[in-house]
Amino acid sequence: MRQIKITKGLLIVLILSLFPLLNLFHSGLPITHDGLDHAIRIASFYKSLTEGNLIPRWAGELNWGYGHPVLMFLYPLPSYLASFFHFVGFSFVDSLKILFGSAFILSGIFMYLWLRKFLNDKAAIIGAVLYLFAPYRFIDLYVRGAIGEHVAFLFLPLVLYAILKLNKLPNIRSLRSYYVHFIFIAFSFAGLILSHNAISLLFIPFVVFYIFYLYYENKSKIKLIFNFMSLLFGFFLSFFFWFPAFMEGKYTLRDIVTEGAYLTRFVDVKGLIYSSWNFGGTGQLSVQLGIAGIILSLVSIIFLNKIFKKNDKQKYLFLGSVLFLLASIILMLPQSNIIWHYVTTLQKLQFPWRFLSIALFCMSLIGALTIYKLKPNNYLVLALIFLAIIPTISYWHPKEYKNIPDSFFENIYRGTTDTGESSPIWSIRFMEDKPKDVIEVIEGNSKIVKLERKTTYHEYVIKSSGKTRIRENTLYFPGWKVYDNYKLINFEFQDPKNRGLITFYIDEGLHDIIVKFEDTKLRRLANWVSLFSVIALILIPLIFLTFPKLKIGKYQW
């Protein structure tokens, strides 16, 4: 692929994206709804990584030290990225802030690059500015502290940019020219899924629409096939995360805790146009779309026939974006309750206002297409940029900051960092106190020596004077196993008196006890699918280089 050309428009977008981030340079952690929880999760994730777990799934320090499977259901890419920043020397707090800042900047850059690929510089700048300065972006950054959703915003335009680059290739019969772009799409799409599974689910219909729109433009079946095959590989690359998270959610309180939660999280139309800024939760936080985006969208719809000529193919991209925008708005309103009631998958999103992410993306695209067709002068473009930015200046800061040392994140934490939806179904929602010890004798008489305790590996030597019952104060979740002198033994985890905790019996004698968290068959399958996908992407060019005359249909490497 050719190198990215540094244009004046790209520099403008880059510079503008820096101003809302100045408050990240303030010392301390920005106090947001989820910021502290994310820092704690990242610290637990990092510890598990350093212990050799390439895919951290268990948070051993959470829930008063009883542990918690929250990492299994938490989009892992932000944690991997923040762990890298911590590894090179930054504190957990600074690593989180670096991730927030870099994701914000890159989201604007990728939006600009995608739009610039098929529109002009002015339109790409407007689209990127609308995307960066939509009020909801600062809700994620400074109010909610939603790192996963925030990182996902950089992948929304990146996926489309990758798809467009493949579709801009000349119609030649060489597969080699498609391969690099195929990988680009696959990893970009996997990045979106690993950043935030809910946002990726909302965005997939638009990706599919965009692929068919490009097919309508170029009529190339091979490109259509490559597009969908690359998305399929993206699914497989991220399989290690989303498949176990989806399949093993039945072992948690997810459906109980989130049941009916969406009913109180709808928004009203007035709030979408304007709602006062504050740092409260649902029902208080602002859900406004942004005045500049609303004006451009209304202008474009009113003057649709004047803006687009009859045979203008971009008209269909515009109309598709408008339909997605309207659908997103409708699904945020209480009038759509009947849809949420029958389409139960939507209920797992919990917050109808999550559709703001798709709405602001579509408004940015609509605004860019409108500017491209209207060709306004520089003064009007500058006025629109100011209209998008100025109303948001007061949003560029958190409620407060708190200085928290790394030692806080490395110790036992009382909470679970979620609302209990990831708690195992056979445990209580939240543990209420720290255990007396990590392992206890609850029946009989034994002496215990603790040998080693890592996140997913606990080893003890127990000398028992008779039949003894042991409680290992770890919450059970599928994958935990108990070995006695290296032999797998049975254990209990549904005893009402020791609800959700691992208990087991040992006979008289000396016992080397290992309590270990392993991957289930389902997780191993998911891991192998992702690994084979990476291997396949490496082997494909090697096969064709080994057999240079190998053909697929009329296409040759």
Q: What is the pLDDT along the chain (557 residues), one digit of tens a residue?
A: 455 667 899 999 999 999 999 999 999 999 999 999 999 999 999 999 999 999 999 999 999 999 999 999 999 999 999 999 999 999 999 999 999 999 999 999 999 999 999 999 999 999 999 999 999 999 999 999 999 999 999 999 999 999 999 999 886 656 677 888 899 999 999 999 999 999 999 999 999 999 999 999 888 888 999 999 999 999 999 999 999 999 999 999 988 888 888 898 999 999 999 988 999 887 788 999 999 999 999 988 888 877 888 778 899 999 999 999 999 999 999 999 999 999 988 988 889 999 999 999 999 999 999 999 989 999 999 999 999 999 999 999 999 999 999 999 989 999 988 888 999 999 988 988 899 999 999 999 999 999 999 999 999 999 999 999 999 999 999 999 999 999 999 999 999 899 899 999 999 999 999 999 999 999 999 999 999 999 998 887 776 666 555 555 555 54
- For residues 322 and 302, what is the distance between their CA atoms, to the nearest angstrom? 12
- For residues 173 and 512, what is the distance between their CA atoms, to the nearest angstrom? 64
- For residues 497 and 493, what is the distance between their CA atoms, to the nearest angstrom? 10
Summary count for the chain: helices (H), strands (E):
23, 12
Name 320's Cβ contacts closer than 8 Å, sequence gap at least 6: 206, 209, 210, 213
- For residues 241 and 235, what is the distance between their CA atoms, to the nearest angstrom? 10
3-state helix, strand, coil in the chain (%, to 5): 60, 10, 30
Q: pTM for the complete prediction?
A: 0.94
Give the DSSP H/E element, type plus range, for residue 458: strand 457-464
- For residues 34 and 16, what is the distance between their CA atoms, to the nearest angstrom? 26
- For residues 30 and 42, what is the distance between their CA atoms, to the nearest angstrom? 16
Q: In terms of residues, how long is the chain?
A: 557
- For residues 43 and 41, what is the distance between their CA atoms, to the nearest angstrom? 5
**Model pLDDT, residue 256:** 87
**Do residues 224 and 168 touch, judged by C-beta distance below 8 A?**
no
**Model pLDDT, residue 120:** 95
- For residues 369 and 314, what is the distance between their CA atoms, to the nearest angstrom? 8
- For residues 139 and 283, what is the distance between their CA atoms, to the nearest angstrom? 13
Q: What are the angstrom distances between the C-alpha of 416 and each of 148, 153, 248, 318, 517?
A: 17, 26, 18, 44, 18
How many CB atoms sit inside 10 A of residue 368's CB?
30
DSSP state of 67: -
**Do residues 43 and 92 touch, judged by C-beta distance below 8 A?**
yes
DSSP state of 169: S
In the three-class reduction of DSSP (H, G, I as helix; E, B as strand; rest coil), residue 277 is classed as: coil
**Model pLDDT, residue 4:** 61
Torsion sign over Cα 367, 369, 374, 379: positive
Q: What are the angstrom distances between the C-alpha of 322 and each of 119, 293, 360?
A: 18, 12, 11
Largest CA distance in the chain: 90
Torsion sign over Cα 30, 32, 36, 42: negative
Least Cα distance to 149 among 194, 110, 190 occurs for 194
Tokens 């690994």 belong to which residue?
A: 531
**Model pLDDT, residue 314:** 92
Q: Which two tokens stand for residue 391?
A: 């109303």
- For residues 544 and 182, what is the distance between their CA atoms, to the nearest angstrom? 15
> Is residue 465 packed enough to be buried (19+ CB in 10 Å), middle (13-18) or exposed (0-12)?
exposed
- For residues 167 and 169, what is the distance between their CA atoms, to the nearest angstrom? 5
